[in-house]
Amino acid sequence: MVKLIRDSWAKSEPYIADISQFFYGMLFTLAPTTRDFFPINMEIQRGRLVRALVHIVQMVDRPDDLAPFLRQLGRDHRKFGVVPRHYEAVGTALLASLKNHLGREWTPEVERAWAEAFTIAARAMQDAAAADQNPPSWQATVVEHRRLTWDLALVRLLPEQPVPYHPGQYISVEVPQRPRLWRYLSPANAPREDGGIEFHVRAVDGGWVSRAIVSHTQPGDVWRLGPPLGRLTVDREASRGVLMVAGGTGIAPLRAILDHLALWGENPKTHLFYGGPAREDLYDLEELRALAATNPWLTVTPVVERGGDVPGFEQGTLAEAVTRYGAWPGHDILVSGSPSMIRATVSRMLVAGSALDQIQYDPFTID
């Protein structure tokens, strides 16, 4: 089944723009109310949903990775008002779009493989959504917006009621400046008694939401937050040692975990490599050094790719810096950052001898 799906998708992928256009036209015909799930400007959406669906369906042979994510995703989609008939419409539109572009390559066997895989994924999502007792989403008010650099902002929010996230997880957000354009952000703090959440947001090229947050967010704005996702975590009682690797704003979920660990005097020895292209990209370094100064179990090593020799800094990419120390046997390894940084770091660590089951990262950035 998986081979049929992957082979047929390889033939379809060059035509993703046409497939996506056909898909949305079919979906909005079958289920007109789904149009309200998406931004007014569909050009922004492009092929995201189709790529996400294909990514999920292609992983049906990896149930240990896929099942937890599908359960989280099913709970997350409650914020849109998704009901079972919407899943049926999405599946029908996806298969019709692929059939339309594959032509004679769309055999009964290929269709059966795609239908079975989508059914497995949709059922897992629906079951999780039906079992969830939490609200579909939370409203939160911006109480602080502070520019840390010209393209980076700290945003602190106070939800109407606490969001039940674990340190290391990420949350989908919708901001008033960009309605229906949901994006994922990681809280940079462990849950607090008042429910306050801190996000670190960098404006990226072409980033409609990130640029709006950095440039236009104001105290008093009301955001909508979706259910928590992600599986980054540290078992402080079972772990023998922890290696954290963070690039840029990827420090946020790891900082939340450190914030949580700092509640205890004794923790597993934790070594954090925090890196970026240049010194100014390590915006949170002084805070992390202050945390390490009062918590002897924590070591912080900054890494820069350029800027010459700086005392106390490793030179090179994070992948290069971390693997200079070997394979880190016996350590739980957490990697957080851009998709390219995660790929490069995980690949190099595997070559260096780290075991795949040592390494945690959240590979999904489904928009």
Q: Which amino acid is at 327?
A: A
Give the pLDDT confidence of 214-235 residue by residue, as tens digits. 999 999 999 999 999 888 999 9
Same domain assignment for residues 278 and 260: yes
Asked whether the predicted pLDDT for residue 365 surpasses 60, the reply is no
- pLDDT for 46 equals 64
State the pLDDT confidence band at 2, using cuts at 50, 70 and 90: confident
Same domain assignment for residues 126 and 150: no
State the pLDDT confidence band at 47, using cuts at 50, 70 and 90: low
Structure tokens at 259: 């914030």
Give the pLDDT confidence of 249-305 residue by residue, as tens digits. 999 999 999 999 999 989 999 999 999 998 889 999 999 999 999 999 999 999 999
Give the pLDDT confidence of 64-86 residue by residue, as tens digits. 778 887 888 899 889 988 988 99
Regarding beta strands 242-247 and 270-276, do their DSSP bridges make them parallel or antiparallel, or are they unpaired? parallel
What average pLDDT does range 56-60 have in this prediction?
72
pTM of the model: 0.85
Q: What is the average pLDDT value for the chain, to the nearest integer?
A: 91
* 157 in Cβ contact with 143 (< 8 Å): yes
Number of domains in the chain: 3
Alpha helix (H) ranges present in 202-310?
208-216, 251-261, 285-293
What is the CATH number for 10? Answer: 1.10.490.10
Same domain assignment for residues 123 and 3: yes
- pLDDT for 366 equals 38
* 270 in Cβ contact with 299 (< 8 Å): yes
- pLDDT for 367 equals 35
- pLDDT for 54 equals 73
Give the pLDDT confidence of 6-19 residue by residue, as tens digits. 889 888 888 888 88
What average pLDDT does range 200-223 have in this prediction?
93
Same domain assignment for residues 163 and 283: no
**Between 131 and 40, where is the model more confident?**
131
What average pLDDT does range 111-117 have in this prediction?
93
Whether 235 is covered by a domain: the verdict is: no
**Domain final residue, candidates 111, 131, 151:** 131
Asked whether the predicted pLDDT for residue 210 surpasses 60, the reply is yes
Same domain assignment for residues 83 and 179: no
Whether 255 is covered by a domain: the verdict is: yes
Q: Which amino acid is at 4?
A: L
Whether 367 is covered by a domain: the verdict is: no
- pLDDT for 58 equals 67
How far apart CA 365 and CA 367 sit, in angstroms, is 6
Burial of 129 (0-12, 13-18, 19+ CB in 10 A): buried
Asked whether the predicted pLDDT for residue 184 surpasses 60, the reply is yes
H or E stretch at 19: helix 16-30
Structure tokens at 297: 């179990």
Closest by Cα among 37, 124, 28 to 84: 124
DSSP string, 56-124: HHTTTT-HHHHHHHHHHHHHHGGGGT--HHHHHHHHHHHHHHHHHHHGGG--HHHHHHHHHHHHHHHHH
Residue 298 lies in domain: 241-361
How far apart CA 288 and CA 273 sit, in angstroms, is 11
Could you give the percent of the chain with pLDDT greater than 90?
Answer: 71
State the pLDDT confidence band at 204, using cuts at 50, 70 and 90: confident
Whether 247 is covered by a domain: the verdict is: yes
**Domain final residue, candidates 182, 206, 229:** 229
Residues composing the chain: 367
- pLDDT for 44 equals 65
How far apart CA 343 and CA 320 sit, in angstroms, is 13
- pLDDT for 308 equals 67
Could you give the percent of the chain with pLDDT greater than 70?
Answer: 96
Same domain assignment for residues 221 and 253: no
